[in-house]
Amino acid sequence: MQKLEINGGKKLSGSITISGSKNATLPILASTILTNKKVVIKNIPLVKDVETMVDLLKLLGSTIKLDKKKKKIEIINKESLKTFAPYRLLKTMRAGVLVLGALLAKYKNAKVSLPGGCAIGSRPVDIHLNALKKMGANIKIKDGYIIASAKNGLKGCLITFPKVSVGATENILIAACFAQGKTKLRNCALEPEIKDLILFLQKLGCKINQIGKRGLNILGVRKTESISHQVIFDRIEAGTYIIAAALTNGILKIKKINPKVILTEIELLKKMGVKIIKKKNYIIASCSKKIKNINIITEPYPGFPTDLQAQIMVLMTMANGTSTIKENIFENRFMHVSELRRLGAKIEIKNNKATIYGNSKLKGAELMATDLRASVSLVLAGLVAKNKTIVNRIYHLDRGYEKIEKKLSLCGAKIKRIK
Ligand code: EPZ
């Protein structure tokens, strides 16, 4: 199994180009099930989860050309697709369940494995299933599979989500595009990745309007257009590298982004003492002062993202005092804490609140990655820890970070992949 070996203590300096967003690419790929016209998707991140989604679509019968050099995917669904999404592919990638809404809306039936993915909480799909039931679907769970049918097609209706859920909003939004009549979705998640999915679907010919802060009205259609779409940048990858610059007292130009999308993160990091210069499509992040302590709460967008919680925790270990994090999205997203403690970090956990004592002097050790963002937090910690840090199980990292060791080593980090 591959590992990363990091020799900490090097100041980072240089430019990093941010890849396309994994969490936008995945639902966009799932939604291509709706169309039989040629679709071109650009700025695809070359990460494992995207490969898995491509494999899933191919298995369903899509004809897909992936041009890795140009980071472009062309999809044509000439024939009818299969409607069976197996456990083999969904066990590693929760977003696989996003094919459910599309298959059910287009083909009136689907058998989709209950998903796996990062072990950061129980992560049920009840909100997805209850919404589809409300749209007229008949749903059973059998042998780990969701077996769904809607003989007369899905029907538009009013759905108020009981909780803001990214995946449920995406699944039902995609399904509603091909349902009969109007669907009104309320209490939706409207992360930048969902806005990108909406843009993609609108280009395809779907009729979607945003109502107020968390509402979407969708009028079902049957006809779609051939389109080309450029995926939005990965805001979590961008945030991760800003933190890397701050942690190492370095200076990084973070390119191919829109700073307006990550204002919450930028403002918070500035409060911690990180210097950030914003330009139209890049920022320059640096830090030459002592990091200040801060208290944060993870929330749906535009709040501070849970996907950046593990990374900012590492920065907090360097602060001049005690910081806290309240994790409001997932109930089990502190698995990086025990590994960070092995490097010498002082962190206490009580329910969903972490207390991080600053002024730590981290020392390298051998570590185990547990999920995607936990993995990257260990890499960040390795960049500042004294001596050698080894991060095991980096397949988690490869699910969502494109060429991380290359991007970091080009900026001066001593990091390499070993067997
Ligand atoms: C998406 O996961 C992202 N994944 C996650 O990114 C991200 O952490 C999360 O949204 C929150 O921003 C993708 O976009 C592929 P949710 P998702 O439904 O859709 C509960 C990463 O590191 N819930 O918004 O699974 C759920 O348990 C990953 O890139 C239900 O109870 O998240 C959680 O507590 C990891 N029932 C909360 O809602 C449901 O049916 C929010 O989850 C659905 C969700």
Q: What is the pLDDT of residue 174?
A: 98
Determine the average pLDDT of the residues in 366-388.
96
Query: Residues 314, 320, 322, 323: what is their CA dihedral angle, to the nearest 10 degrees?
Result: -50
Beta carbons within 10 angstroms of residue 40's beta carbon: 15
Is 118 marked active-site? Answer: yes
Per the structure block, which two tokens stand in for 187? Answer: 């209490």
Q: What is the pLDDT of residue 39?
A: 98
The rounded Å distance from CA 11 to ligand 1 centre is 34
Determine the average pLDDT of the residues in 184-196.
98
Q: Report how far residue 31's alpha carbon sits from residue 201's, in angstroms, rounded to the nearest whole number.
A: 8
Model confidence band, residue 119 (pLDDT cutoffs 50, 70, 90) = low
Superfamily of structural domain 22-230:
Enolpyruvate transferase domain (3.65.10.10)
Contact 217, 211 (CB under 8 A): yes
- Give the closest residue (by CA) to ligand 1 atom 6: 307
Is the model's pLDDT at 196 over the cut of 90? yes
Q: Report how far residue 114's alpha carbon sits from residue 87's, in angstroms, rounded to the nearest whole number.
A: 7
Ligand 1 atom closest to 236 (CA): 29
Q: Where are the beta strands (DSSP E) in 132-180?
A: 138-142, 145-149, 158-160
The rounded Å distance from CA 78 to ligand 1 centre is 32
Strand bridging mode 72-76 / 109-113: unpaired
Residue type, 374: A
Q: What is the pLDDT of residue 419?
A: 87
Per the structure block, which two tokens stand in for 368? Answer: 């185990």
Q: Which of 329, 331, 398 has the most ligand 1 atoms within 8 A of CB, as the residue to mutate?
A: 329
Ligand 1 atom closest to 371 (CA): 22
Q: Which of 22, 23, 327 has the most ligand 1 atoms within 8 A of CB, as the residue to mutate?
A: 23
Q: What is the pLDDT of residue 356?
A: 98
The rounded Å distance from CA 35 to ligand 1 centre is 26
Q: Report how far residue 16's alpha carbon sits from residue 307's, in angstroms, rounded to the nearest whole number.
A: 19
Superfamily of structural domain 3-18+233-418:
Enolpyruvate transferase domain (3.65.10.10)
Is the model's pLDDT at 118 over the cut of 60? no
- Residue 203's Cα: distance from chain center in Å? 23
Determine the average pLDDT of the residues in 204-217.
98
Q: 283: which DSSP letter?
A: E
- Which among 118, 188, 206, 411 is annotated as catalytic? 118
Determine the average pLDDT of the residues in 344-352.
97
Query: Residues 34, 39, 44, 48: what is their CA dihedral angle, to the nearest 10 degrees?
Result: 50
Ligand 1 atom closest to 127 (CA): 40
DSSP string, 39-94: EEEES----HHHHHHHHHHHHHT-EEEEETTTTEEEEE--SPPP-EE-HHHHSS-G
Who lines ligand 1 at CB under 6 A? Answer: 23, 26, 94-95, 118, 121, 123-128, 163, 165-168, 189, 306-307, 329-330, 372-373, 400
Residue with tokens 């995607």: 372
Q: What is the pLDDT of residue 162?
A: 98
Per the structure block, which two tokens stand in for 235? Answer: 């805001």
Q: What is the pLDDT of residue 332?
A: 78
Strand bridging mode 353-357 / 138-142: unpaired
Q: What percent of the chain is modeled with pLDDT above 90?
A: 94
At 357-376, the pLDDT tens digits run 999 999 999 999 989 999 99
Domains 3-18+233-418 and 22-230 agree in fold? yes
Per the structure block, which two tokens stand in for 383? Answer: 């960049």
Model confidence band, residue 122 (pLDDT cutoffs 50, 70, 90) = low
Is the model's pLDDT at 319 over the cut of 70? yes
At 257-289, the pLDDT tens digits run 999 999 999 999 999 999 999 999 999 999 998
Domain ranges of the chain: 3-18+233-418, 22-230
Q: What is the pLDDT of residue 354?
A: 97
Q: What's the mean per-residue pLDDT of the chain?
A: 96
Is the model's pLDDT at 216 over the cut of 70? yes
Is the model's pLDDT at 120 over the cut of 70? no
Model confidence band, residue 152 (pLDDT cutoffs 50, 70, 90) = very high
